[in-house]
Amino acid sequence: MFDIVLGVAQEIHYLHQGCDMQILHFDIKPHNILLDENFIPKVFDFGLAKLYSVDDSIVSLTAARGTIGYIAPELVYKNLGGISYKADVYSFGLLLMEMAGRRKNVNAFADHTSQIYFPSWIYDRLDQGEDLELGDVSDDEKSMVKKMIITAFWCIR
């Protein structure tokens, strides 16, 4: 799983900084990540993407772009600040959170209301030093998942 996560991060980095033009995807989500026969991830579906100069730090949009559950808040609420490549980083953080937690970020069928939004629930567990309830995984895997979750929090803050 770590190789897939790293591959997606490298793909996004390439879109933002590896081309002559900055490509902002605006729809990073599980459905837009393909795995080849070697499980190498490929970001696809550029229907919402926009090209911008690498010199532009803030971009302008006339309407929100993305998928509910992965869309960065600044794309919906214009008073939160300018729109930039950070919108894709936010979406990647939510994708990472889902991969690490092996569940959707919003679970309307959760047993307790405090478990509905996974990032809040997992943050509370980490903050209180509680077990992450990862099931039957090795200690190395638990350590990797915890690092993925912390990285995801850096992306969505």
- Token pair recorded at residue 117: 């939004």
| Rg, the chain, Cα only | 16
Give which of 68, 155, 144 is closest to 102, Cα–Cα. 144
Please state, in angstroms and rounded to a whole number, the distance separating the CA atoms of residues 124 and 54.
38
Catalytic residue among 3, 20, 27, 55: 27
27 is catalytic: yes
Q: For residue 70, list its beta bridge partners.
A: none
For residue 112, what are its two tokens? 């307790």
Q: How many other C-beta atoms are found inside a 10 Å radius of the C-beta of residue 38?
A: 6
- The runs of H, that is alpha helices, within the chain are 2-13, 73-76, 86-101, 118-127, 139-156
Q: Which residues are designated catalytic?
A: 27
